[in-house]
Amino acid sequence: MTPESRYRQLLGAVRRLVPCDAAALLRLLPEERGEVLQPVAVDGLAEEALGRRFPAAAHPRLARLLASGNGLRFSADMGLPDPYDGLLADQQTLEAVHDCMGAPLRHEGRIWGLLTLDALDPHAFDAIGPAQLAAAVQMLEVGIAAEETIVQLAQRARQEALARDWRSGGAPRELLGRSTAMNRLRQEIDTVAASDLTVLILGETGVGKELVAERLHARSTRRDRPLVQINCAALPETLADSELFGHKRGAFTGAIADRIGKFELADGGTLLLDEVGELPLPVQAKLLRVLQSGDVQRPGSDRVQRVDVRVLAATNRDLTQEVAKGRFRADLYHRLSVYPLQVPPLRERGRDILALAGGFLEENQHRLGARNLRLSPAASQALLAHDWPGNVRELEHLISRAALRALAEAGKGGRWVAIEPAHLGLPDGGAHGIAHGGSGGASMAPGMATPGPRRVDERLAASSAASPDEAAEVPTGTDAAGFDGSGLREATERFQREWIAAAIARHGGAMAAAARDAGMDRSNFLRLARRLGVPGC
């Protein structure tokens, strides 16, 4: 059972003791710009709340609860904004929270966080006295003490500092989500992190392979040393030696000063070889020698330097197929894949999508100066229905666009800004939103049209991408606009299938060239073509 599951069980017990529509357990965390409250478990709130972070200074109700001593109840007519407005689960409308109470939680004499209780009925807590609230607080503080002991024992056993990111003053993104696939991935990371084994991180474009590498480094014994990253896809063969191993002044034309390579920069720490599947074969041979011996020799120098580097490699390619086709060295593959980690695509992570969306909304909320950005129920359903070929990166960009559109439409004056399916701009979002009672319709609101044609791997086809001859060919059974009664998803997939088949034929069957036309890497292009049933793939 995960810590979140244990905390949620405690919240369930609290709701039985104090009947309410929603309860949340928030952990107080220090940050460079002030204290932040991070939800660690929610019961009755939308799942996106788990991806939120609430700066205490920006939320006066939470700040007053922290300073309240034994807790307090807010009057229904209080004008202070509520951080959970629009976030209660199973709401048909984004109704405001009307009755709120809560209390600070302590551990070892210090404030650990907050318990918050919320209800839509303004008289829900009329019968709740100080004794019931105190009993709920005591129950949670006992559970928190037990959980903290479990964490401390795990830290001692694995030599991990789980709170390192906060103490260092930074707040890098975490691997959000509680799906089975993500829990399994985090467990695998924690298993291998403390070792010095080489790890090969596998996964489609945009799944978060860099975050996996960061977590591996942060939980390793090398966490106080640098994590150095190099993008192998942007590494020309002529400059590979200089980038990886450095060079001495005068080693070649243009070498006007000594240069330290990435292996030396990462000495004592971790080196991430991102997109390692893109390395040219001659560079692979040079890399293999260093991995085998641990010795680096700068071009132009006679001195050999030993480096102590833990190597992580990441790729979206199937390296076993690349080895079979002679495009990747088998010996280098086996050297890198000592401990492979497969990062699941977003479509296999279920409702993690909503927690991730909540985190991205929080980021956009601060960046845009918006008060409260919320997903409408229809928008949440549209996100869950999409298959996310671009994975987490696609979700991040989509939420950024949707936040900007919704804010431009609603302005900054309201208590919150609702993101509707029309703001998301998903090809199947409008139709799905109608089926679930969303307000967005099958078409986007005025001014919400997607700006310009997008790449095929984003699944948004623009008719302007077709040539005049292709546009003139209307399939039998369709009207002049191309409609044949099928849904938008089917029409989009048909367009993609025909476009990809035409691109492959145009390039004489050369997949790499057709993928370049589509703006995709070859492996994702081939995967999409096979899924769509393109002949010959």
Structure confidence at residue 138 as a pLDDT band (50, 70, 90): very high
pTM (2 d.p.): 0.59
Q: Measure CA of the first residue to CA of the last residue in the chain; give whole Å.
A: 43
CA–CA distance, 151 with 173 (Å, rounded to integer):
21
Q: Please state the rounded mean pLDDT for residues 406-413.
A: 78
- Of 177, 173, 94, 98, which Cα lies nearest the Cα of 374? 94
Does 90 score more than 80 pLDDT? no
- Of 383, 382, 370, 381, which Cα lies nearest the Cα of 416? 370
Q: In angstroms, what CA-CA distances link 166 with 43, 173, 488?
A: 26, 11, 45
Q: In 10 A of CB 491, how many CB atoms?
A: 17
Which has more confidence, 53 or 484?
A: 53
Contact 429, 365 (CB under 8 A): no
Q: In 10 A of CB 45, how many CB atoms?
A: 22
Give the pLDDT confidence of 103-132 residue by residue, as tens digits.
Answer: 999 998 899 999 999 888 888 898 888 899
Structure confidence at residue 449 as a pLDDT band (50, 70, 90): very low
3-state SS of 96-156 is CCCEEEEEEEEECCEEEEEEEEEECCCCCCCCCCHHHHHHHHHHHHHHHHHHHHHHHHHHH
Contact 326, 213 (CB under 8 A): no
Residue-by-residue DSSP string for 324-377: HTTSS-HHHHHHHTTEEEEPPPGGGSTTHHHHHHHHHHHHHHHHHT-S-EEE-H
Q: Please state the rounded mean pLDDT for residues 330-338.
A: 95
Query: For position 516, what pLDDT does the model report?
Result: 76
Which has more confidence, 270 or 468?
A: 270
Q: Please state the rounded mean pLDDT for residues 243-257.
A: 71
Instruction: Supply the mean pLDDT for the chain.
Output: 79
Structure confidence at residue 525 as a pLDDT band (50, 70, 90): confident
Q: 131-135, 291-295, 499-503, 508-512: which range is least confident on average?
A: 508-512
CA–CA distance, 63 with 19 (Å, rounded to integer):
24
Query: For position 298, what pLDDT does the model report?
Result: 76
Query: For position 261, what pLDDT does the model report?
Result: 82
Does 388 score more than 90 pLDDT? yes
Does 452 score more than 70 pLDDT? no
- Of 74, 51, 193, 186, which Cα lies nearest the Cα of 128? 74
**φ/ψ of residue 114, rounded to 5:** -135, 150
Q: Please state the rounded mean pLDDT for residues 254-267.
A: 78
- Assign 521 to helix, strand or coil: coil
CA–CA distance, 244 with 288 (Å, rounded to integer):
12
Beta-carbon-side half-sphere exposure of residue 209 (alpha carbons within 13 Å): 24
The kind and range of the H/E element at 218 are helix 209-218
Give the pLDDT confidence of 171-225 residue by residue, as tens digits.
Answer: 456 788 889 999 999 999 999 999 999 999 999 999 999 999 999 999 999 988 8
